[in-house]
């Protein structure tokens, strides 16, 4: 049972436009969410996180939105740059003693110059 | 500040052998987690250590084990290797649990 789902395997956007990456989850115990970016043959790089007590968190060009009632979060990248081309993983944690990260399968973002 | 360091970066082993992977966390980080990444299954949690104690374990067979030392460095061991164990093994460290986890570059294990 996949508890974190990234239903679109890929996304292609024009440089300068907005990239919106979506993520859905099924476990209502998740209370901490993270986005990671990954290049081939490298480990994931932490991008941004959000706690369930918030509905938005912003860091530079990256904004994460959380809709708890819909069990949905999204990552907005504005403006998109060619260097943003990578695989993006959504991850979630129940927190407390059960702090393991459950990852989605990732979405490949391609930003066209 | 040095990042998470994993050694070795690449490893080729034969079926039936065992392997030990090493992870040095970021200085000051006491939580170390291990993940397996494969094309079909994505990133899957193996186990987490905090202050030398295993706090969480994923759904992997007992052939996968780990430990953490007093300096927070961690090792994971896979015994009786199978072809399906070929994967990128990633280590992540964080200050305490439920904070941002920072990943190393991984160890690419190939079992032939």
DSSP code string of A10-47: EEEEETTS-EEEEEEE--TT--EEEEEEE-TTS--EEE
Q: For residue B101, what is the nearest residue in chain A, using CA coordinates?
A: A46
Of the two residues A80 and A1, the one the predictor is more confident about is A80
Which strand (E) or helix (H) includes residue A95? Answer: none
Q: Are B58 and B47 in contact (CB under 8 A)?
A: yes
CB contact under 8 A, A96 and B97: yes
Q: For residue range B54-83, what is the model confidence (pLDDT) as tens digits?
A: 988 999 999 999 999 999 999 999 999 999
Please name the member of B6, B35, B56 whose beta carbon is closest to the beta carbon of A99: B56
**Residues sharing a CB contact under 8 Å with residue B20, sequence separation 6 or more, in sequence order:** B75, B76, B77
pLDDT band at B46 (very low <50, low <70, confident <90, very high): very high
The closest alpha carbon to B107, from B42, B19, B27, B18, belongs to B19
Residues of A in contact with B48 (CB under 8 A): 99-100
Residues of A in contact with B88 (CB under 8 A): 41
Alpha-carbon distance of A27 to B8, in angstroms, equals 35
**Residues sharing a CB contact under 8 Å with residue A113, sequence separation 6 or more, in sequence order:** A15, A82
CA of B11, closest CA in chain A: separation in Å? 14
Q: What are phi and psi of A46, to 5 degrees?
A: -65, 135
- Residue A17's pLDDT is what? 97
Q: For residue range A83-105, what is the model confidence (pLDDT) as tens digits?
A: 999 999 999 998 766 678 899 99
Please name the member of B48, B100, B105 whose beta carbon is closest to the beta carbon of A100: B48
Mean pLDDT, chain B, whole residue set: 93
Interface residue of B42, B47, B91, B96 to substitute, partner A, most A CBs within 10 Å: B42
Q: Measured between alpha carbons, how far apart are the two ends of chain B, in Å? A: 37
A95, exposed or middle or buried, with CB in 10 Å at 0-12, 13-18, 19+?
middle
Residues of B in contact with A53 (CB under 8 A): none
Using the predicted structure, report yes or no on whether residue A42 has a pLDDT greater than 90.
no
What are the C-alpha distances in Å from B49 to residues A100, A112, B5, B27?
11, 41, 16, 15
Which strand (E) or helix (H) includes residue B63? Answer: none
| Chain centroid to CA A7 | 12
CB contact under 8 A, A44 and B104: no
- Residue A62 is encoded by which pair of tokens? 């990256």
Using the predicted structure, report yes or no on whether residue B100 has a pLDDT greater than 90.
no
């Amino acid at each position: 049972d996949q508890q974190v789902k990234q239903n679109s395997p890929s996304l292609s956007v024009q440089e300068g436009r907005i990239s919106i990456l979506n993520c859905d989850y099924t476990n209502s115990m998740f209370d901490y969410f993270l986005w990671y970016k990954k290049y081939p043959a490298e480990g994931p790089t932490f991008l941004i996180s959000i706690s369930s007590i918030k509905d938005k968190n912003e860091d530079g060009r990256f904004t994460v939105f959380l809709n708890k009632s819909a069990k949905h979060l999204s990552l907005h990248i504005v403006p998109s740059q060619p260097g943003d081309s990578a695989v993006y993983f959504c991850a979630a944690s129940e927190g407390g003693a059960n702090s393991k990260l459950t990852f989605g399968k990732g979405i490949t973002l391609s930003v066209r110059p | 500040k040095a990042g998470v360091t994993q050694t070795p970066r690449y490893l080729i082993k034969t079926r039936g052998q065992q392997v030990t992977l090493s992870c040095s966390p970021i200085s000051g980080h006491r939580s170390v987690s291990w993940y397996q990444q494969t094309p079909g299954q994505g990133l899957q949690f193996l186990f987490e250590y905090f202050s030398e104690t295993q706090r969480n374990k994923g759904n992997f067979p007992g052939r996968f084990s780990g430990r953490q030392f007093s300096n927070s460095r961690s090792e994971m061991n896979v015994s009786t290797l199978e072809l399906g164990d070929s994967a990128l093994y990633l280590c992540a460290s964080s200050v305490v649990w439920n904070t941002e986890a920072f990943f190393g570059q991984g160890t690419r294990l190939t079992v032939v």
